[in-house]
Chain A
């Protein structure tokens, strides 16, 4: 196991290396107007998304916040871990997925 000083020093060194790599490129800059300027005014448009995708976002949050804890603690407190895993997977099945 490496000590905490090693980890912080290596993070700083890596940041310095990437900054030096970025600033060795040329920085001639040109500011353009929007390339699709055509003379007409198009109002801001909303992006399409499907409503069942929002349910998948909820299930994603539940799974990602709990899954590694379940996997790490499973060998010692087995019944509790299995119950939590069953609850999480049940939430995946009970979502009103709809057409998607």
Chain B
């Protein structure tokens, strides 16, 4: 029974992540006074699927001296890990398809392991640009994980649990946690931009600086799978922001129609968060690596730490 649920859910998550990529490309284009994808499907909604099918049909070129076993294994492992993490998100009810005690930490750990796999991909190609891209991934990763952990810790502190179903049921009966922790919400949005390599922090995959970074020699079906993993990670991080800070699927419901109304509220909040992230992407230019490290360590980490300390003090007094 669980097998059937997982297969249907994986196909639906991949289609939803392609829809989010379409939303991202349309918002990015309209910010720049362009039109964006227009020809394939209704206003270009089938464009991400067309890109995926085109890349699957191209030949793959490998540089002599690269590690072929690792280059075969990395796309498969990244896609399976991101689909596994997406199964824990509560969409149609308080619990997701899977639910364990402590699954918030499982989602965070799985997303960090995916970045480990990116660094391994960069190091298994013999090109100098791939090594530079992998080293920059390492430097950026150390910087943006700390504010993300501080914000997630403040959300777990307010709801007094590290299980996603408890956090969602806390927000259904009280206020969304974003009212108690606005600075943590801001820090999570910045860290999500860096995790997805979106424009102020698109440092490891910069085309004009390091000729493509860790993706410089990857083509064909591997590039298709890595692009799908980026879209699925976009879906995962937006759903994490919605679940932790904006209330998840909560909202006014008609009694008896609850799964459909919960899904509708979740999709509305998800698309609003995705549009905010891609709107920021369209306005700003790219940072240098030392500017990005300085920004995360000296401006964003103190904000998230301040919010955590204030919440600890308030929970001792007894207000929360």
A interface residues, Cβ below 8 angstroms from B: 1-2, 6-7, 9-11, 13-15, 17-19, 21-22, 24-36, 45, 47, 49-50, 53, 56-57, 59-60, 63-64, 67-68, 70-72, 74-75, 78, 81-82, 85, 89, 92, 100
Bound form: Cα–Cα A55–B135 in Å: 16
| B80 touches which of A17, A28, A57 (Cβ 8 Å) | A17
CB atoms of A47 and B131 under 8 A apart: yes
What residues of A have a CB within 8 angstroms of the CB of B225 in the complex? 18, 21-22
Bound form: Cα–Cα A38–B288 in Å: 30
In the assembled complex, the CB of A87 is this many whole angstroms from the nearest CB of chain B, namely: 13
CB atoms of A28 and B98 under 8 A apart: no
Is residue B297 contacting chain A, with contact meaning CB distance below 8 A?
yes
Sample (10) of A-B pairs whose CB atoms are under 8 Å apart: A10-B2, A13-B6, A15-B76, A22-B79, A29-B60, A34-B63, A47-B135, A49-B139, A63-B149, A67-B149
CB atoms of A56 and B162 under 8 A apart: no
CB atoms of A26 and B56 under 8 A apart: yes
CB atoms of B221 and A26 under 8 A apart: yes
Is residue B35 contacting chain A, with contact meaning CB distance below 8 A?
no
Question: Is chain A's interface secondary structure helix, strand, loop, or mixed overall?
Answer: helix
CB atoms of B3 and A13 under 8 A apart: yes
What residues of B have a CB within 8 angstroms of the CB of A25 in the complex? 55-57, 220-221, 224
CB atoms of A13 and B7 under 8 A apart: yes
What residues of B have a CB within 8 angstroms of the CB of A74 in the complex? 157, 312, 315
Bound form: Cα–Cα A59–B221 in Å: 39
Say yes or no: A68-B315 contact (C-beta < 8 A), given A9-B3, A30-B59, A30-B61.
no
Apart from A21-B79, A34-B65, A71-B157, list 20 A-B contacts with CB within 8 A.
A1-B100, A2-B100, A6-B2, A9-B2, A10-B84, A10-B97, A13-B3, A14-B6, A14-B83, A15-B76, A27-B60, A29-B60, A29-B61, A30-B61, A32-B64, A53-B293, A67-B153, A68-B153, A68-B162, A78-B312
What residues of A have a CB within 8 angstroms of the CB of B75 in the complex? 18, 22
In the assembled complex, the CB of B217 is this many whole angstroms from the nearest CB of chain A, namely: 8
Q: Total A-B residue pairs with C-beta atoms closer than 8 Å?
A: 157
Is residue B105 contacting chain A, with contact meaning CB distance below 8 A?
yes
| B105 touches which of A32, A68, A81 (Cβ 8 Å) | A68
Closest residue of chain A to B60 (Cβ to Cβ) is: A29
What residues of A have a CB within 8 angstroms of the CB of B312 in the complex? 74, 78, 81-82, 85
| B57 touches which of A19, A26, A49 (Cβ 8 Å) | A26
In the assembled complex, the CB of B130 is this many whole angstroms from the nearest CB of chain A, namely: 11
In the assembled complex, the CB of A2 is this many whole angstroms from the nearest CB of chain B, namely: 5
Bound form: Cα–Cα A25–B56 in Å: 5
Bound form: Cα–Cα A4–B284 in Å: 45
What residues of B have a CB within 8 angstroms of the CB of A1 in the complex? 99-101
What residues of A have a CB within 8 angstroms of the CB of B56 in the complex? 24-26
Is residue B49 contacting chain A, with contact meaning CB distance below 8 A?
no
In the assembled complex, the CB of B123 is this many whole angstroms from the nearest CB of chain A, namely: 12
Say yes or no: A60-B157 contact (C-beta < 8 A), given A15-B80, A25-B220, A30-B59.
no
CB atoms of A100 and B57 under 8 A apart: no
What residues of B have a CB within 8 angstroms of the CB of A32 in the complex? 61-64
